[in-house]
Amino acid sequence: MRLYSSGIHLYRNNPGKQGQDPAKVIREALAKALVLYYPLAGRLREEAGRKLVVECAGQGVMFAEADADLAADDFGDVQSPPFPCFEQFILEGTTIAGVEPVIDRPLLYIQVRWVGI
Protein backbone atom coordinates (compact mmCIF):
# COMPACT_ATOMS: atom_id res chain seq x y z
CA MET A 1 0.00 0.00 0.00
CA ARG A 2 1.64 3.24 -1.09
CA LEU A 3 -0.84 5.81 0.12
CA TYR A 4 -2.08 7.36 3.31
CA SER A 5 -5.51 6.77 4.77
CA SER A 6 -7.23 9.80 6.29
CA GLY A 7 -9.89 10.18 8.91
CA ILE A 8 -11.48 12.94 10.92
CA HIS A 9 -12.57 12.44 14.51
CA LEU A 10 -14.69 15.23 15.93
CA TYR A 11 -15.10 15.55 19.69
CA ARG A 12 -17.34 18.09 21.34
CA ASN A 13 -16.22 20.17 24.31
CA ASN A 14 -16.41 18.37 27.65
CA PRO A 15 -17.15 20.93 30.41
CA GLY A 16 -15.62 18.52 32.96
CA LYS A 17 -12.23 18.99 31.26
CA GLN A 18 -12.26 22.77 31.60
CA GLY A 19 -8.74 24.21 31.69
CA GLN A 20 -7.08 21.21 30.03
CA ASP A 21 -5.41 21.70 26.66
CA PRO A 22 -6.67 18.88 24.40
CA ALA A 23 -3.62 19.08 22.13
CA LYS A 24 -1.30 18.66 25.13
CA VAL A 25 -3.34 15.70 26.43
CA ILE A 26 -3.26 14.01 23.00
CA ARG A 27 0.47 14.69 22.56
CA GLU A 28 1.29 13.18 25.96
CA ALA A 29 -0.90 10.13 25.34
CA LEU A 30 0.70 9.65 21.93
CA ALA A 31 4.19 9.79 23.45
CA LYS A 32 3.23 7.04 25.91
CA ALA A 33 1.64 4.90 23.18
CA LEU A 34 4.69 5.21 20.91
CA VAL A 35 6.83 3.51 23.57
CA LEU A 36 4.89 0.31 22.87
CA TYR A 37 4.09 1.00 19.20
CA TYR A 38 7.48 2.45 18.21
CA PRO A 39 7.28 1.36 14.54
CA LEU A 40 4.69 4.12 14.03
CA ALA A 41 7.50 6.61 14.69
CA GLY A 42 9.58 5.11 11.87
CA ARG A 43 9.79 5.77 8.15
CA LEU A 44 9.07 3.61 5.13
CA ARG A 45 12.07 2.59 3.10
CA GLU A 46 12.06 0.79 -0.22
CA GLU A 47 14.25 -2.24 -0.77
CA ALA A 48 14.96 -4.34 -3.83
CA GLY A 49 11.86 -5.37 -5.73
CA ARG A 50 9.95 -2.31 -4.44
CA LYS A 51 9.48 -4.04 -1.09
CA LEU A 52 8.50 -1.59 1.66
CA VAL A 53 10.03 -1.93 5.12
CA VAL A 54 9.71 0.23 8.23
CA GLU A 55 12.96 1.74 9.42
CA CYS A 56 12.66 2.22 13.18
CA ALA A 57 15.09 5.00 14.00
CA GLY A 58 12.71 6.92 16.26
CA GLN A 59 12.22 9.89 13.93
CA GLY A 60 8.77 10.52 15.42
CA VAL A 61 5.32 11.26 14.06
CA MET A 62 4.06 14.50 12.52
CA PHE A 63 2.00 16.41 15.11
CA ALA A 64 0.39 19.76 14.38
CA GLU A 65 -2.04 22.01 16.22
CA ALA A 66 -4.16 24.71 14.60
CA ASP A 67 -7.46 26.54 14.60
CA ALA A 68 -10.15 25.97 12.00
CA ASP A 69 -12.68 28.53 10.86
CA LEU A 70 -15.49 26.00 11.21
CA ALA A 71 -18.18 25.03 13.68
CA ALA A 72 -18.87 21.49 14.86
CA ASP A 73 -22.33 21.74 13.31
CA ASP A 74 -20.72 22.17 9.85
CA PHE A 75 -20.02 18.43 9.97
CA GLY A 76 -23.55 17.26 10.75
CA ASP A 77 -23.71 13.64 11.84
CA VAL A 78 -21.12 12.30 9.39
CA GLN A 79 -19.46 9.04 10.53
CA SER A 80 -17.33 8.09 7.53
CA PRO A 81 -15.83 9.57 4.32
CA PRO A 82 -16.43 11.72 2.43
CA PHE A 83 -16.03 14.34 5.15
CA PRO A 84 -17.50 17.78 4.52
CA CYS A 85 -14.94 20.61 4.72
CA PHE A 86 -12.08 18.07 4.43
CA GLU A 87 -9.87 20.46 2.43
CA GLN A 88 -9.94 22.99 5.27
CA PHE A 89 -8.24 20.48 7.57
CA ILE A 90 -5.18 19.88 5.41
CA LEU A 91 -2.15 21.75 6.69
CA GLU A 92 -0.94 24.42 4.30
CA GLY A 93 2.07 23.25 2.36
CA THR A 94 1.05 19.57 2.43
CA THR A 95 -0.67 17.57 -0.25
CA ILE A 96 -3.92 15.65 -0.21
CA ALA A 97 -3.68 12.36 1.67
CA GLY A 98 -3.46 9.37 -0.64
CA VAL A 99 -1.65 11.30 -3.37
CA GLU A 100 1.76 12.14 -1.91
CA PRO A 101 4.74 9.76 -1.85
CA VAL A 102 5.21 7.72 1.31
CA ILE A 103 8.93 6.87 1.20
CA ASP A 104 10.95 8.58 3.97
CA ARG A 105 7.83 10.28 5.34
CA PRO A 106 6.24 9.88 8.78
CA LEU A 107 3.90 6.90 9.04
CA LEU A 108 1.53 8.82 11.28
CA TYR A 109 0.29 12.39 10.88
CA ILE A 110 -1.90 13.85 13.61
CA GLN A 111 -3.53 17.26 13.45
CA VAL A 112 -5.42 18.68 16.39
CA ARG A 113 -7.71 21.45 15.22
CA TRP A 114 -9.92 23.66 17.29
CA VAL A 115 -13.34 24.27 15.80
CA GLY A 116 -16.17 26.40 17.10
CA ILE A 117 -19.02 24.86 19.05
Question: What secondary structure letter does DSSP report for 49?
Answer: G
pLDDT in tens, 52-75: 999 998 889 988 887 777 776 777
Contacts of 15 (CB under 8 A, 6+ apart): none
Closest CA to 89 of 69, 117, 116: 69
**CA-to-CA distance for 115 and 12, rounded, in angstroms?**
9
**CA-to-CA distance for 109 and 6, rounded, in angstroms?**
9
Q: Which domains does the chain have, with CATH numbers?
A: 20-116 (3.30.559.10)
Closest CA to 43 of 32, 33, 53: 53
Compute the residue count for the chain.
117
Of the chain, the end-to-end C-alpha distance in Å amounts to 37
Contact 40, 25 (CB under 8 A): no
Ranges in the chain, pLDDT < 70: 1, 72, 78-81, 88-100, 115-117
Q: What is the pLDDT of residue 100?
A: 59
- Beta strands in 4-91, from DSSP E residues, in sequence order: 43-47, 51-55, 62-71
